[in-house]
Structure 1
């Protein structure tokens, strides 16, 4: 099968499309023919090995000393079950699924094997494979941190970095939880976040939300560029600041994929896709994601 290998840490040019052995499922695994995957900010950080100095050595040991121990990157996918292990009961051949591979990676390929009890479930019926692949990473991350902030109906919630994969999902989920949402983003994305349901929008290039008189129950930094000290003035008493940077990794749970599936199928949420690339264009996709200007997800068409 074809797969993109990260041959060493470095620029996007270290990514090489190669033929590798097609995996075979174990008795508790499913073999998935991948139709679509994405390039996330996490993929870019691993490929370039961008780590805070304090965590440099432990991360190097965890990921791989000279190059990634798991050379096929990619953490989210959508595709079709091609083969099932003899003990698998949840899925059958031909099922359309979407999934997260987590720290085992492996989605930048034509096939991958996942445990039946892994972060995999049937894909939403009303979206394409490309759209389904754009849901898991941003959706589960947004859900995790909004819950960490103890989101409740009637609250005032601010999403900083509202146009990215995590931020665009957070805006929609915050509206689902019946909150009043203020979305902070750049000028070119104001209409996008309005279309996702934001009640108020702030162009960070001309307005600093921390200097306004507005106070929030939750401030969610979806891009890791704010700080508790900077946002303290904009929080209500007992308000919470949550961020994707430095507050742990979002827990990946199958029930969250099911929850997102329900939101998509009911029309309460939609995937946001910026650009599409082919598998052999993945280095170009990495270059674009690395600019930090993407809206929603960058999708890789495998089939």
Structure 2
């Protein structure tokens, strides 16, 4: 099969299209013919081996996993002997997690990491959902405990996670303040944001409005500044998934680590988020999509052989919402 492979850390040019052996599903796995995949900031970090501390898990001198890509949508080609919930021919979507492998014509996925594709989405739209959608859902519902009537602020509202988080917060009954740049104000407002803060003109941490939940997707403000935007008993949810500049030893992990250390000593709830693929979360996303409460926003699409150009576009900081690969 054709796949995008990587044998050393570095810029997008380290990614190449190659012929590799097609995977064979294990007893609890599903072989999916990939129709579309999506880029995430995770792919950029894995490609660069950045932050360098993460190489302890990803591979110290070179990537342990050669094929990049987590999010996918496609059709089931074959199933393992113990698979019960999906059958060949089913249209599915999901997240391969840190196993990667979605930038390819075929991928093997644990049965627990796939779900039926939302009926009203194309494969390209469905591929844009898994990691970003699960991150948004966990950050708001599971960790942030957003309830009807809550005031929620989303810092990084125009990104892949942010555009879905705005919609999910509204679906949970919250009043949403979205923070983004000037060119994205109309986009996030169209997604349902009640208030929009243009960070090039205003400092949301100095705004007199206080919020019950602040979902930080950027990691570019201090804990003191972020807490200033909360009510006295508000919750700060930290997710360090953004693409930040300049090779770093720890990257946004430092902010998250400081948050964990500070949490026991302040009135605010400070919680950190690590999204994990889950059939339950995928099913919840599908329910919201099919009910018309959630729709992925796609910025650009690229063919499989142009994954390096797609990641270059992502890391240029011009990308908004999702960048999708067609296979």
- After TM superposition, the score normalised by the length of structure 2 is 0.88
Number of aligned pairs?
Answer: 296
Q: Which moved more, 1:246-255 or 1:59-68?
A: 246-255
What is aligned with 1:149? 144
Secondary structure at the aligned position of 1:172 is classed as helix
- After TM superposition, the score normalised by the length of structure 1 is 0.95
1:7–1:16 Cα contact (<8 Å) kept: no
Secondary structure at the aligned position of 1:13 is classed as helix
Picking from 278, 295, 301, the partner of 1:253 is 278
Q: How does 1:134-213 map to 2 (within 5 A)?
A: 134-146=128-140, 147-213=142-208
What is aligned with 1:132? 126
CA distance in 2, matches of 1:180, 1:122: 31
What is aligned with 1:48? 48
CA distance in 2, matches of 1:18, 1:165: 28
Deviations 1:59-113 (Å, cap 9, x if unpaired)? 2231112211011011110000011122221111100000100010111100011
| CA positional deviation for 1:248 | 4.2
For the pair 1:232 / 2:257, whether they are aligned, the reply is: no
Picking from 275, 296, 302, the partner of 2:300 is 275
For the pair 1:120 / 2:119, whether they are aligned, the reply is: no
CA distance in 2, matches of 1:161, 1:293: 13
What is aligned with 2:236? 241
Unaligned runs of 5+ in 1: none
For the pair 1:289 / 2:314, whether they are aligned, the reply is: yes
1:144–1:251 Cα contact (<8 Å) kept: no
Q: Which moved more, 1:170-179 or 1:140-149?
A: 140-149
What is aligned with 1:17? 17
CA distance in 2, matches of 1:115, 1:166: 24
Picking from 213, 217, 222, the partner of 2:217 is 222
Deviations 1:244-287 (Å, cap 9, x if unpaired)? 12224223321000000000001000001110001110100111
| CA positional deviation for 1:227 | 3.2
For the pair 1:98 / 2:123, whether they are aligned, the reply is: no
| CA positional deviation for 1:154 | 0.3
**Which 4+ residue blocks in structure 1 deviate beyond 3 angstroms?**
none
Secondary structure at the aligned position of 1:137 is classed as helix
Unaligned runs of 5+ in 2: 241-255, 257-271
Secondary structure at the aligned position of 2:189 is classed as helix
Task: Give RMSD over aligned pairs.
Answer: 1.1
Deviations 1:128-159 (Å, cap 9, x if unpaired)? 00000000111100111113122111011111
Secondary structure at the aligned position of 1:82 is classed as strand
